[in-house]
Structures are given as C-alpha cells and as structure tokens.
Structure 1
C-alpha cells in the first residue's frame, strides 16, 4: 500500500466512516503551546515547515474557494513572511506547504486555509495537517499529524536510519508528554505512517 492509498484509508474514507465529528480547524491551536513543550521538555525544535492535505473537488465553486485561500495567503506573506506553496501529487491530493521560522505564523496560516474550506462547505475534504519537528541531539524528524476526520493528533517519528521504520519509542514518549495538552488519537489504528515517496523527504514531498 502506497502513501496515498494509506491516506485514503487512514485519514480519508475509513476515517470518514468512523469520524467522531465534523472538521474543526480551531483544534489546531492546541499546537500553540505543544510546540513549546516539544522544545523545552523533549528537545524537538520546529523546522519552520507545516502542511495541509485535502482532497480535490472538480467544480467551479471549489476552485473559487482555493483562489480565495491563495490570494489571502499571498497578501499575508507580505505581513508575516509565511510562504505557501500549492502542490498536487500524482494521486490527485492537494497540499499547501507552509514555511516560516515563526511557529505562530505557521499555525495562523494553516488554520486560515483550513477554516476557509470549512466556511465554504468543504470541510469534509480536509484530510490532515502536519507540523514538522527535529530532535536537537541527532536530527531525527518527528511530526504531529492532525486528522480532521478524527479530530485528534498523533505522532509520526520516522527512523531515518532504517527504510520505512518508525521510532516507536519516540512516538510513545511524545504521546505521553503531550497527553492532556492536545487531543490525542486513542486508537493507534489511525496512527498511519506518512512515508514519503522519495527517501529522506517530507511526507508532503
């Protein structure tokens, strides 16, 4: 099963069937304190990157909604410096990749994009938001993945020493330390590993 087949299963169709509630982008703001805990207590620094993943809709209204998102993010870049890149993968999933060394600006931008889609009645198309971190002492990556269908976060820590292996110890440490600070996915069936198609790249690349 490839990355995007897994997204469809874990964050898409299956998660939609097992959805706990409608997408609520305000849940993302839990990360506004969690990233401080990540750095101060766990030794993970934000990399200045985050991404929003959603399914496309082939109609004029959805394209208009995306143009609205893009135009306001472009305007916001002048004020905050947050860069937003729009990408479409080979499976038809849409990504907005954000880059900004200021984590709060990243969070504001990704919330705006998700909230706009909800307001335009496309909340059901939102799949996931990803926040990227790096462990200070060895550079190991870790991500907090937010599933819009499940209304919860889960950690994904790929072990770069091995191909398609997870650092389970790191993931459980992240879970135990952030429990109560953000809403965590209790069913580990939904802790889907978002492997990139190319080794060493982010899940959205």
Structure 2
C-alpha cells in the first residue's frame, strides 16, 4: 500500500466506515483550553500555525464552496489578523494554512473554514485539522481526524521516525480535555517534507 492509499484509508474512506462517532467541527474548540495545558503542563508552546486538510473535488459547486471559505477567512483576517494560505501538497491534498500568534484566533479560523465546507455540503471532503506546538526545537501536532471524530498526537523526529513516548505523554495529559482516539492504529503519521510542516 502506498503512502497516498494509506492516507485515504486512515483519514478517508476506510475510517469513514470505522468511525466511532460523528465528526463535529465544534470539537475543534476543545483546543481553546487544551493549548493552555500543552504549555503550562508540558512546556509545548503554540507555533502560531494551524492547518485544515481536505480532498479536492473537480466540480463547480466545490469551487464555489472553496471561494466561500476564502471569503470567510478574508473577513476573519480583517478582524483578527489571521492570515491564510491555500496550498497543495505532494500527494494532491489541499490545505488551508493559517498563521496567527493568538491561538484562539487560529482555532476560530479553522472552525470557520471547516464549518463552511460542512454547510456547503462538502463535509465528507474534510480530512484533518492540525495544530502545531514546539518545545526545545521539537514540533508536536494535535491532529483532529474528521472521519474519526477524535484527536491524536503526532511528534515527528525527522525522516520517517516519530517520538511515540512523547505522543503517549501528550495523550495521558490531554485525554479527557480532548476527545482522544483510543485506537492507536488511527494515529496516522502525516510526515513532513524535510523540516517543514506536513503541509509543506
């Protein structure tokens, strides 16, 4: 199985059949308090970056929905200063990449973007939302899987290695504050390209 097929299976079609609960963009607001715990209890500070990953659809209706997301985020930038970039990764997945030093504004913007796609009838195209944190030069992510309706931690260490000890520590501290995926088979690694974020 290739990397692209694995992503589809874990975050996409396979996970949809195995979903433990219905995903809800409101779950994203759990990060509004979890980031405080990440910093106070674990020493991981927000990097000011978050992202929303989705699968594109070659249709006029989806292009309109994407334009609506862009319009919503443009309005948000005027209010909060959150900037947004739209990028495509090496696997053909699309990302809305958000930047803001105010973490709660990031959470709100990711919610607005995902909720807009849901309201436009494209919630099934949503794959994951990522929130980035850093400690001592190491980046850790909380990943929200829309197909599983749950979060999981991901801590890449370079190459195709991950720091599972830190991931389990994050789970033990944040479980209960976030709806953490209890089946680690679904803690899918979203490998970054080099030292970049998973979205490139």
Q: TM-score normalised by the shorter chain: which range applies?
A: over 0.9
Residue number in structure 2 paired with 1:189? 185
Q: How does 1:53-68 map to 2 (within 5 A)?
A: 53-68=53-68
Query: Aligned-pair distance for 1:92?
Result: 2.6
Q: For the residues of structure 1 that align with 2:2 and 2:110, how far apart are their CA atoms? A: 25
Residue number in structure 1 paired with 2:156? 158
Q: For the residues of structure 1 that align with 2:34 and 2:21, how far apart are their CA atoms? A: 23
Query: Aligned-pair distance for 1:90?
Result: 3.8
Q: For the residues of structure 2 that align with 1:52 and 1:20, how far apart are their CA atoms? A: 21
Query: Aligned-pair distance for 1:5?
Result: 3.4
Deviations 1:65-97 (A, max 9, x none): 111110121122122110000112343311100
Q: 5+ residue gaps in structure 2?
A: none
Query: Aligned-pair distance for 1:3?
Result: 4.7
Q: For the residues of structure 1 that align with 2:79 and 2:4, how far apart are their CA atoms? A: 34
Residue 49 (1) aligns with residue 49 (2): yes
Change (3 A) 1:95 1:140: same
Q: How does 1:12-161 map to 2 (within 5 A)?
A: 12-135=12-135, 138-160=136-158
The correspondence for 1:170, drawn from 162, 166, 170, is 166
Deviations 1:156-190 (A, max 9, x none): 01124xx2111111001000000110000000000
CA contact (8 A) 1:154 1:185 kept: yes
Size of the aligned set, in residue pairs, is 200
Residue 180 (1) aligns with residue 176 (2): yes
Change (3 A) 1:173 1:98: same
Q: 5+ residue gaps in structure 1?
A: none
For residue 16 of structure 2, give the secondary structure of its aligned residue in structure 1: helix
Change (3 A) 1:111 1:140: same
Residue 204 (1) aligns with residue 199 (2): yes
CA RMSD of aligned residues (A): 1.3
What TM-score do the two structures reach when normalised by structure 1? Answer: 0.93
Q: For the residues of structure 2 that align with 1:6 and 1:128, how far apart are their CA atoms? A: 14
CA contact (8 A) 2:23 2:150 kept: no
Query: Aligned-pair distance for 1:117?
Result: 0.7
